[in-house]
Amino acid sequence: MLNFALDLKDFIRAWLLSLAGFLVGEYGAGLLLNWIKNNSGIEAMLQMAWMPWLLAPVLGTIAAILGLLPKAWGRARWQDWVASVAVVPIGALIVTVVVTAIVGAHGSRIWIDGATQVAIAILLGLLLGVTLKSRSEREGDGEML
């Protein structure tokens, strides 16, 4: 059984900020793609169609990690970092699959794209988490700021 070091309020703050970052990445990339299409044409936009799939988990993960206050960085374990960053991309994947099924669209890559977002979030979360934890421990018991 996983033993979490963080409190529920830490996770809720991380999840809310992760959702905000995820949405900014997703919709911000969409606005940028629209601007590219209007200024450079559809072909240029299609070449950049990967942006929402990358920006959403990256910004969501960074926001989630920053949402965990520096005091939490020192006591967090690997499972805390994963639980902090993976919830929103997993939720987004579920919503995308359900909506796609409801409207009758067929997207064979949806599972692959969604799993890639989850993997990016988890790997980046673990990398940032380990880095912040070691920095926090060097600074002294999680009291970095």
> Angle at CA 109, nearest 5°, toward 106 and 113?
130
- CA-nearest of 48, 123, 63, 57 to 92 is 57
Enter the pTM of the model: 0.83
Average pLDDT over residues 133-140: 78
- 8 A C-beta contact, residue 53 and residue 104: no
Instruction: Give the per-residue pLDDT at 60.
Output: 93
- CA-nearest of 86, 72, 81 to 10 is 72
Rounded to an integer, what distance in angstroms lies between the CA atom of residue 37 and that of residue 44? Answer: 7
Query: Which amino acid, 19?
Result: L
pLDDT digits (tens, 9 = 90+) for 40-70: 999 999 999 888 889 999 999 999 988 887 7
What's the mean pLDDT when you consider all of the chain? Answer: 87
Q: Is residue 129 scored above 60 in pLDDT?
A: yes
What are φ and ψ of residue 4, in 5° steps? -90, 140
Instruction: Give the per-residue pLDDT at 71.
Output: 77
Q: Can you tell me whether residue 144 is helix, strand or coil?
A: coil
Q: Which token pair is 35?
A: 């601007």
Average pLDDT over residues 88-113: 84
Q: Is residue 96 scored above 50 in pLDDT?
A: yes
Average pLDDT over residues 72-76: 83
- 8 A C-beta contact, residue 142 and residue 71: yes
* Lowest mean pLDDT segment, chosen from 41-50, 72-81, 107-116, 119-128: 107-116
Instruction: Give the per-residue pLDDT at 142.
Output: 46
Rounded to an integer, what distance in angstroms lies between the CA atom of residue 36 and that of residue 46? Answer: 9
